[in-house]
Structure 1
Amino acid sequence: MDTSSTGGRLDNDGDITSVMGFSGFGKKARTFDLDAIFEQTRRTAIERSRQVLDDRQKEMEAPGECSTYVPIQKDTEKASRKEDINSSSSDFKLVGPLPQQRDSNQVEEDDLVGPPFPFGDEGGTTQSDSEDDEEEEIDEDTPVKRIPDTHEITLQHGTKTVSAMALDPSGARLVTGGYDFDVRFWDFAGMDRALQAFRSLQPCDCHQIRALQYSITGDRILVVSGNAQAKVLDRDGFNVMECIKGDQYIVDMVNTKGHTAMLNDGCWHPKLKEEFMTCSNDGTVRTWDVKSEKNHKSVFKPRSVQGKKVTPTCCTYSRDGKLIAAGCQDGTIQIWDRNLSVHTKFHCRQAHTPGSDVSRLSFSYDGTVLASRGGDDTLKIWDIRNFRKPLHMAGGLTNYFAMTDCCFSPDDQLVVTGTSVKKDEGSGKLVFFDRKTFEQVYEIEVTNASVVRCLWHPKLNQIMVGTGNGLAKVYYDPIKSHRGAKLCVVKSKIKEKHAEALTQEYVITPHALPMFREARQRSTRKQLEKDRLDPKKSHKPEPPVSGPGRGGRVAAHGGTLSSFIVKNIALDKTDDSNAREAILRHAKEASENPYWVAPAYKKTQPNPVFAEDSEEDEETNKEPEWKKRKI
């Protein structure tokens, strides 16, 4: 075979296809003529718009009105491209359409898909209708219109203050804690209209619940109570870990492994699922790791101007988890870098009135603004980049609780807090402030008690409120809110199951003979009620002694064993002062009618045989051999 001639043939694609026996190496990608597609779309839009405008012009001129509208003449050949996208070269193939590239010299007539002037569209919308739609859109964009407060449900936690509240990240479960030491679990998907908690427990015995929060994964719950040891529970309420208690006789709190006084607040790290933070009356803010319960991770010590110890009343992480903020009992706000626990990064000495507790700190979602709720009846927002003076301040917001909340709306445009009232002196309110102007834009009257806790969940778009009379209210909107309370309000109450089922089928035969009739079947419930009245079937115990005891006697004679014995002894008239006579009184009856030993030998030994003493023994006065004592 001539290799040179073969090689010459293989140089051409046609020769290769003929030798190999196929027409090509696979399918080629489909190509599109983009210029033709764009030009066809533009012409269709122009023709549609022109036809609509002509129809409108005819309608307006029909009753004799004068129309001043002149249609715009468009040169369809004017639009051109500078680049030829679809190259004729076989080396470059386009697969699918590319995004449209606008030419700077091209006339903006490509944008004319609808009518150029607001006379309307094919549906008949006029200019006034479009203006109304714009006004509605503007109204809907205002933050007040986004507040979900059209509907509400009430969850009965107890009779005392709901001092803690938490929602898991998905919004499926709500946890409430209060001054009654109880922690209740609410499942929105599992509840019906009865709105009952599916679990209630007291994780910290007889200590008030100060704070609750779900971890970022939603599988653990941090419980901060009035004792010195915080607890971590799992999703179902079982204990995961308990922080160690420190040595209260050590002066330097850095050298102790845990808190030595009552806890005030706590929260989870927003990025690390294993880390959480607590603050206590011992003057420290400590971070912990769930895997290491025997010691804390780091300690932050707030200080006053004189360098003395200050009690932190609330603490929180920034949204990115890099900063740790604490509100103190002297009205100061101190912020540390999470990795530097010695000196503060931001410090405001006169944040609130000296001596007033800061009840809550909350970072905005953008991380640049901090809101603080003070015990001096004020709400302030701060720019942490300029921490010397507040951006805005609102006063007259009564605060009687050390854990009154404040939070931001999910869109970061509103700041929300609650107000406190004395008993029977008004209603607690949920107040909304605009973040930019800090004007009060809205308020909700919750109940005739203080509003302590408030949460605005970003996924559910629902507001949870904890009050001073043991209620937890959920505000929602059927259109703007999602899941949450909407899942349980549509379910009907589960009916109680009655045991009223027949045990077997009962056939009624009224004309049958008596010997073939079946007994009338009774329902199980009626039979149980009848058996309950029967003391034997119900195993009714003997009733206790009735009536008070008098004169040293307990009820009537014979009511108890002791009284029965006393009664029989008193009725026995026999005199047992002479013991020998009392025993010999029964000798005759025992010999005639033996009962214990003699009846056993009646058949074999009718006449008893007794051993007789020998004469030698009587003379020597010796005991017989059988009487001798065995040693």
Structure 2
Amino acid sequence: MDSNNTEGRMNNDGDIASVMGFSGFGKKARTFDLEAIFEQTRRTAIERSRQVLDDRLMEVEAQGESSTSVLIQKDTEKAAATSRKEDTDSSSSDSEPVGPPPPQKDSNNEEKENDDDDDDDDDDDLVGPPLPPGYKGGAPQSDSDDEDEDEQNDEDDEDDNPVKKIPDTHEITLLHGTKTVSAMALDPSGARLVTGGYDFDVRFWDFAGMDRALQAFRSLQPCDCHQIRALQYSITGDRILVVSGNAQAKVLDRDGFNVMECIKGDQYIVDMVNTKGHTAMLNDGSWHPKIKEEFMTCSNDGTVRTWDVTSEKKHKSVFKPRSVQGKKVTPTCCTYSRDGKLIAAGCQDGTIQIWDRNLSVHTKFHCRQAHTPGSDISRLCFSYDGTILASRGGDDTLKIWDIRNFKKPLNTANGLTNYFAMTDCCFSPDDQLVVTGTSVKKDEGNGNLVFFDRVTFQRVYEIEVTNASVVRCLWHPKLNQVMVGTGNGLVKVYYDPVKSHRGAMLCVVKSKTKVKHAEALAQEYVITPHALPMFREARQRSTRKQLEKDRLDPKKSHKPEPPVSGPGRGGRVAAHGGTLSSFIVKNIALDKTDDSNAREAILRHAKEASENPYWVAPAYKKTQPNPVFAEDSEEDEEADKEPEWKKRKI
């Protein structure tokens, strides 16, 4: 039964194959002769070994007969060992049963050790001329290698010397105004700079969009007639904190539009914790370095408040600095630590008080006599590693502190004149330098930008900026450029084409764009969609083309003569006929006719009008009918003779 079914299935397969046009339903599996493959592999290995041996013999012929014999012997042994190994592998593969191969760890290790011993013997047994001087495992050293080493040493010296990293080879000047630049900020990417000053203006500068004219693309007064005290971009760069001389801080977006305004507190409440906002002039402000919605402000009401952008009706928390006697002290500057966990404030009594951000009652670090009592601390700045705090005081000093040992400063620099309540200080991007500015009186010298070494605190470098005070300074880590705001309304940007990136280098290479003034006003185009084709005006595709056509028109392109000023020129007299009023006055004065009798003045032209009609008669010459006048009749005469009471009333 099964054989019959099998035969029937084979017949059906053959019928289907003949109908479909192919011979079979699948290919036959390939078979491999493993012995032939292994034999071919062994022969190929032997031939390669002989090839390598011949090449080696050619190389060592010049080194002497003794070394040749040794190498021949070594290479012969290696070739024989290689062929034996391949034979062993081929025979083992033929005779191996199905399953995992036995471990060959010891034999392999022995072969590796033998190979290492052979290599050592090769190095010991080599015979030949001695190596040339200066030879180290490769080509002999040349003078170029020595020069490379010298250059590398110079680069190492530059890395060790932080002064050579200061980018001050080139500079550009941005004109903010005529008054002091009291605030300045760069966004995290370094694409935009925003400046504020005593002239109440906030100006926006876009390095990528500016040309060599160096003009700000936007200027506004966000706080009306209040001086701008501080500006800062948020960590995302999409918001700007504006701190001015009023009691309400503002947050603007990247283009200068208002996002929020802090609420003003009740100035009649004694306890400042119970008020919703500041009640006196603001002094400083700062964004949180980690939380993009939180910022901080300090005010003359004696408080430091933190805010949230999403809730402008009330502050988040209040910090109240106190003096030794426990009295209220005015904070003049405030800042966050680099990790955002600490809040530091410099006060008018010369103290520096630092709180934990989550504990607003007691200070975590407190230095009672950081600066001279009664002098305003103008700036506090944390280093990038977060352990060092720099303070710029109104007592003409710059100090750095270790917050882990906050009793006395690490170093102090004296003689740095400070006339402004917002004189800046900052750290270099590599934390090796501390930078600040000096103040001068008007026409009594130049303001300088001073660089101090962070470790030794020696004055290592100084830049003479301008004949005014240096108020703000900023060293951007990504751009590696130094921005300086001065007391005469200038913003200086220092950069190095080699060490700096983007920023000012984007705008100095662009030529000034020429403003094209319209030579003639194009006629306004009135859209009349339902007008007839004969009255419809052709649509103007481009104003430029219309201007070009008007330029070719001699009437439209004719330049009118300017008004005459002075005694006159070219036959034109300025005193008479230069303007319409003078022309009329001149004609009236020169007219000698007497117009006191109007009838005679009109009839004076009657004869000329009848002989040479010009105004009225030519207009009606073709259409005027012949005049027909009524004649007097007898009935009319009789009617005239009738009395008035008999006449018909009309």
- Tell me which interval the TM-score lies in, with the shorter structure as reference length: 0.5 to 0.7
| Aligned match for 1:143, one of 159, 162, 179 | 162
| Aligned match for 2:276, one of 247, 252, 257 | 257
- Alignment partner of 1:371 is 2:403: no
Which amino acid counterpart does residue 253 of structure 1 have in structure 2? M
Tell me if the contact between 2:158 and 2:165 (Cα under 8 Å) persists in the aligned partners. Answer: no
> What are the residue-to-residue correspondences of 1:502-581 with 2, within 5 Å?
503=546, 521-522=553-554, 526-527=557-558, 529-530=559-560
Distance in 2 between residues matched to 1:402 and 1:192, nearest whole Å: 34
Assess, with a 3 A threshold, how the Cα gap between structure 1 residues 440 and 504 changes in structure 2: closer, same or farther: closer
Distance in 2 between residues matched to 1:466 and 1:134, nearest whole Å: 37
Where does residue 489 of structure 1 map in the other structure?
A: 508
Provide, for residues 552-595 of structure 1, a one-character-per-residue CA deviation record: whole Å limited to 9, x for no partner: xxxxxxxxxxxxxxxxxxxxxxxxxxxxxxxxxxxxxxxxxxxx
> What are the residue-to-residue correspondences of 1:82-93 with 2, within 5 Å?
none
| Aligned match for 1:352, one of 371, 374, 381 | 371
> What are the residue-to-residue correspondences of 1:64-463 with 2, within 5 Å?
124-125=143-144, 127=146, 130-131=149-150, 133-463=152-482
Assess, with a 3 A threshold, how the Cα gap between structure 1 residues 427 and 519 changes in structure 2: closer, same or farther: closer
SS at match of 2:164: helix
Unaligned runs of 5+ in 1: 2-17, 24-46, 55-74, 77-87, 93-104, 109-113, 507-517, 534-542, 547-605, 610-631
Assess, with a 3 A threshold, how the Cα gap between structure 1 residues 121 and 359 changes in structure 2: closer, same or farther: farther
1:164 CA drift (Å): 0.1
1:116 CA drift (Å): 6.4
1:121 CA drift (Å): 5.5
1:348 CA drift (Å): 0.2
Unaligned runs of 5+ in 2: 3-25, 32-55, 64-73, 76-92, 94-99, 104-115, 121-132, 520-543, 564-578, 583-646
Tell me if the contact between 2:304 and 2:331 (Cα under 8 Å) persists in the aligned partners. Answer: yes
Distance in 2 between residues matched to 1:294 and 1:215, nearest whole Å: 20
SS at match of 2:144: coil
SS at match of 2:335: strand
Distance in 2 between residues matched to 1:295 and 1:154, nearest whole Å: 41
Tell me if the contact between 1:118 and 1:126 (Cα under 8 Å) persists in the aligned partners. Answer: no
More helix by share: 2
Assess, with a 3 A threshold, how the Cα gap between structure 1 residues 145 and 118 changes in structure 2: closer, same or farther: farther
Tell me if the contact between 1:428 and 1:449 (Cα under 8 Å) persists in the aligned partners. Answer: yes
SS at match of 1:125: helix
> What are the residue-to-residue correspondences of 1:600-615 with 2, within 5 Å?
607-608=648-649
1:287 CA drift (Å): 0.2
Which amino acid counterpart does residue 301 of structure 1 have in structure 2? K
1:230 CA drift (Å): 0.3
Tell me if the contact between 1:335 and 1:345 (Cα under 8 Å) persists in the aligned partners. Answer: yes
Which amino acid counterpart does residue 495 of structure 2 have in structure 1? Y
Assess, with a 3 A threshold, how the Cα gap between structure 1 residues 175 and 22 changes in structure 2: closer, same or farther: farther
Provide, for residues 16-50 of structure 1, a one-character-per-residue CA deviation record: whole Å limited to 9, x for no partner: xx999799xxxxxxxxxxxxxxxxxxxxxxx9xxx
Distance in 2 between residues matched to 1:504 and 1:200, nearest whole Å: 33
1:473 CA drift (Å): 0.6
Tell me if the contact between 1:119 and 1:126 (Cα under 8 Å) persists in the aligned partners. Answer: no
Distance in 2 between residues matched to 1:212 and 1:522, nearest whole Å: 56
Distance in 2 between residues matched to 1:144 and 1:172, nearest whole Å: 26
Distance in 1 between residues matched to 2:28 and 2:369, nearest whole Å: 89
Provide, for residues 378-397 of structure 1, a one-character-per-residue CA deviation record: whole Å limited to 9, x for no partner: 00000000000001110000
SS at match of 2:344: strand
Q: State the 4+ residue runs in structure 1 displaced beyond 6 angstroms.
A: 18-23, 88-92, 105-108, 543-546
1:229 CA drift (Å): 0.2
Provide, for residues 287-312 of structure 1, a one-character-per-residue CA deviation record: whole Å limited to 9, x for no partner: 00001001000000000000000000
Provide, for residues 532-568 of structure 1, a one-character-per-residue CA deviation record: whole Å limited to 9, x for no partner: 99xxxxxxxxx9999xxxxxxxxxxxxxxxxxxxxxx
Distance in 2 between residues matched to 1:305 and 1:169, nearest whole Å: 39
1:496 CA drift (Å): 1.8
Tell me if the contact between 1:263 and 1:278 (Cα under 8 Å) persists in the aligned partners. Answer: yes
Which amino acid counterpart does residue 408 of structure 1 have in structure 2? F
Question: Larger Rg: 1 or 2?
Answer: 2
Provide, for residues 307-328 of structure 1, a one-character-per-residue CA deviation record: whole Å limited to 9, x for no partner: 0000000000000000000000
Where does residue 111 of structure 1 map in the other structure?
A: none
Provide, for residues 109-155 of structure 1, a one-character-per-residue CA deviation record: whole Å limited to 9, x for no partner: xxxxx976599866642547624541343134411010000000000
1:530 CA drift (Å): 3.5
Distance in 2 between residues matched to 1:316 and 1:22, nearest whole Å: 80
Provide, for residues 140-193 of structure 1, a one-character-per-residue CA deviation record: whole Å limited to 9, x for no partner: 441101000000000000000000000000000000000000000000000000
SS at match of 1:372: strand
Provide, for residues 61-82 of structure 1, a one-character-per-residue CA deviation record: whole Å limited to 9, x for no partner: xxxxxxxxxxxxxx99xxxxxx
Which amino acid counterpart does residue 207 of structure 2 have in structure 1? F
Tell me if the contact between 1:118 and 1:127 (Cα under 8 Å) persists in the aligned partners. Answer: no
Equivalent pairs, count: 436
Assess, with a 3 A threshold, how the Cα gap between structure 1 residues 119 and 252 changes in structure 2: closer, same or farther: same
Distance in 1 between residues matched to 2:513 and 2:339, nearest whole Å: 44
Distance in 2 between residues matched to 1:355 and 1:295, nearest whole Å: 32
Distance in 2 between residues matched to 1:167 and 1:505, nearest whole Å: 44
| Aligned match for 1:476, one of 483, 490, 495 | 495
Distance in 2 between residues matched to 1:233 and 1:22, nearest whole Å: 78
Distance in 2 between residues matched to 1:476 and 1:532, nearest whole Å: 49
Which amino acid counterpart does residue 396 of structure 2 have in structure 1? D
Distance in 1 between residues matched to 2:363 and 2:28, nearest whole Å: 79
SS at match of 1:453: strand
Which amino acid counterpart does residue 521 of structure 1 have in structure 2? D
Tell me if the contact between 2:135 and 2:141 (Cα under 8 Å) persists in the aligned partners. Answer: no
Distance in 2 between residues matched to 1:167 and 1:295, nearest whole Å: 28
Distance in 2 between residues matched to 1:174 and 1:519, nearest whole Å: 43
Provide, for residues 483-541 of structure 1, a one-character-per-residue CA deviation record: whole Å limited to 9, x for no partner: 000000000000121435674888xxxxxxxxxxx9972396x45x54999xxxxxxxx
